[in-house]
Amino acid sequence: MEAWDERAVRERLRCAGQEHLLRFCADLAPGPRAALLAELGPLEPDVLREHCRRAAAAHGRPSGPGPDLAARLQPLPPDRLGSATRCHPDTRRRWEEEGLHQIALGKVAVLLLAGGQGTRLGVPYPKGMYQVGLPSQKSLYSCRPRGSGGAAVAGERFGTRCIVPWYIMTSEFTLEPTAKFFQEHDFFHLDPANVVMFEQRMLPAVTFDGRAILERKDKVAMAPDGNGGLYCALADHQILEDMEQRGVEFVHVYCVDNILVRLPDPLFIGFCVCQGSDCGTKVVEKAYPEEPVGVVCQVDGVPQVVEYNEMDPETVQLRAPSGALLFSAGNICNHFFTRAFLRRVTSEYEPLLQPHVAVKKVPYVDEEGNSVTPKAPNGIKMEKFVFDVFPFAKNFVAFEVPREEEFSPLKNGDLAARDSPTTARQALLWQHYRWAVQAGARFLNINGVLLPDQPPSLPDQGEPPAVCEISPLVSCFGEGLEEYLRGREFQTPLLLDEKEARALHP
């Protein structure tokens, strides 16, 4: 921890108009005082002053795309929207082959957005470490192939050893526990040299009148700058330079909370490459008009994400001539970028991104030094979103994927009806059950009675007919399971890990 001189820090804060952050400095023991000075010292006075000014100015100001939105909205044009299920089989094969080829050439990396804590889940550790209750007790970090899946398939297809670097954006809150977790789990069978962790910036929470909030006498209330902080973090830590040295040209970006994510997805990557796209995103069809997800669409002819609470009720309900929702492309935080596009963003466009205002209940100390937990929102956290760069793309595309195969986010605690540990676990187990049945497996219930051969095309709410979990070290996307499962009967639950796979197919 760098030692900072109190007088120098006080002068920097005075220039920023935030000298109140040191009002309890004289009360602190040497250790906490040094920690506070080390937190405040690196904050550039001009940047801090402007951040607090912009936060106060933004509070109460309407956010979003601006007035008369309904008249300015259009769905994406058909030539900018592909589909994993509605394309011709030959076209799908061509896209997938192109994606596998790029992976085999070492031109693809994956990048995980993992700066958030598990606050809404009620846990004091990073969300990626959370276990949803699978038979294997895997965490979100380990229950999917996470950078090795597409590489394994591409390597088998082209007879080569494929390396897909895994970049992980953490925050001050998550870097240390995430790094320790990876070390304890032997980097999930990946070479540590190909796992690159870096931190996003932290910004102070601000009162409605523009004063940075002191959370404790020795601690400023800081928060990550949103998943759109990715672009500053790429520049801060020379990540694009690292990608260039490794020969990476395409980056598959995803969020930590989606248990069904496919990584790297050769079909998505191949579609984007074949389209000549510099920026792409996956979408799912909205489940119902009022579903609280952002919509990928066009505003004034420019692609962007419009949040669900920015659209009026009439627009949300609009239907196309086919009867489908007009604005149905739900954003799932799963993106494709070329490295060249990310370079343009970091060098030209990032300063143009407009921060979003999040009004929060921020714990603070009052003028007497007492800790206060507010009962009403009292502060502003400013954050940017990763999709804020869509309008700057020269060739933007979206790719629709089936929700039941690719999207089940974990956002809430288990008391919630949606996006909970239970729904995430059920979604993964349903997916693996479908894979097993399609590969020729049959399952017996607890009474030894055969279950129906085929599951429904879309799972009902609740548990699947049989519990089946397939290790990503056995199959990444459901491929190659026939040699283990075809013609066999299994008692539920089935955990198809490497050991079980060797026993079934020595």
Q: Residues 364-382: pLDDT tens digits?
A: 999 999 999 999 999 999 8
Helices (H), 375-470: 403-406, 421-438
The Cα 234–Cα 226 span in angstroms is 14
% of residues, the chain, pLDDT over 70: 95
Query: Over the Cα atoms of the chain, what is R_g?
Result: 24
Cβ density class 479-494: b for 16+ within 10 Å, e for less: eebeebbeeeebeeeb
% of residues, the chain, pLDDT over 90: 73
The Cα 506–Cα 496 span in angstroms is 14
Give the pLDDT score at 146. 46
Are 395 and 444 in the same domain? no
Beta-carbon count within 10 A of 27 CB? 11
Q: Residues 396-427: pLDDT tens digits?
A: 999 999 999 999 999 888 888 889 999 999 99
Are 381 and 444 in the same domain? no
Q: Is the pLDDT of residue 62 over 70?
A: no
DSSP 468-505: EEE-TTT-SSSTT-HHHHTT-EEESPEEE-HHHHHHH-
Segments forming the whole domain that contains residue 493: 432-504
Half-sphere exposure of 226 (CA within 13 A, CB side): 19
Q: Does residue 372 lie in a domain region? A: yes
Looking up residue 446, the CATH number of its domain turns out to be 2.10.10.100
Are 326 and 470 in the same domain? no
Give the pLDDT score at 64. 63
Paired strand residues for 267: none
Tell me the pLDDT of the chain averaged across its residues: 91
CA-nearest of 334, 264, 249, 245 to 99 is: 264
Element (DSSP H or E) covering residue 254? strand 250-255
Paired strand residues for 397: 280
Q: Does residue 2 lie in a domain region? A: no
The Cα 348–Cα 431 span in angstroms is 42
pLDDT band, very low/low/confident/very high, at 147 (cuts 50, 70, 90): very low
The Cα 65–Cα 129 span in angstroms is 35
Are 402 and 443 in the same domain? no
Q: Does residue 411 lie in a domain region? A: no
Q: Residues 81-116: pLDDT tens digits?
A: 999 999 999 999 999 999 999 999 999 999 999 987
Say if residues 424 and 466 touch (Cβ distance below 8 Å).
no
* Residue 278, both tokens: 């510099």
Q: Tell me the average pLDDT across 189-215.
A: 94
Are 163 and 247 in the same domain? yes
Which residue has 């540990």 as its token pair?
A: 421
Say if residues 148 and 92 touch (Cβ distance below 8 Å).
no
Q: Does residue 493 lie in a domain region? A: yes
C-alpha angle 88-93-96 in degrees, rounded to nearest 5: 125
Are 184 and 329 in the same domain? yes
Does the bond joining 493 to the residue before it have cis omega, within 30 degrees of 0? yes
Are 121 and 227 in the same domain? yes
Q: Does residue 20 lie in a domain region? A: no
Are 297 and 331 in the same domain? yes
* Residue 409, both tokens: 């986010």
Q: Does residue 230 lie in a domain region? A: yes
Q: Tell me the average pLDDT across 201-205.
A: 91
CA-nearest of 38, 54, 56, 44 to 12 is: 44
Among 389, 406, 423, identify where a domain stops. 406
* Residue 320, both tokens: 């196309």
pLDDT band, very low/low/confident/very high, at 318 (cuts 50, 70, 90): very high
Are 287 and 383 in the same domain? yes
Predicted structure pTM score: 0.92
Element (DSSP H or E) covering residue 289? none
Are 400 and 442 in the same domain? no
Are 138 and 282 in the same domain? yes
Single-letter residue type at 145:
P
Q: Reduce the DSSP state of residue 212 to 3 states and report it.
A: strand
| Count of domains observed in the chain | 2
Q: Residues 221-268: pLDDT tens digits?
A: 998 889 999 999 999 999 999 999 999 999 999 999 999 999 899 999
Angular region, 210: left φ>0, alpha ψ -120 to 50, beta rest: left
Q: Is the pLDDT of residue 34 over 90?
A: yes
Q: Which residues contact 250 (CB under 8 A, 6 or more apart)?
A: 102, 107, 108, 109, 269, 272, 273, 336, 337, 338, 339
Phi–psi pair at 364, nearest 5 degrees? -150, 170
CA-nearest of 140, 142, 193, 201 to 169 is: 201
Looking up residue 230, the CATH number of its domain turns out to be 3.90.550.10
Are 338 and 477 in the same domain? no
Q: Does residue 39 lie in a domain region? A: no
Say if residues 467 and 426 touch (Cβ distance below 8 Å).
no
Q: Does residue 146 lie in a domain region? A: yes
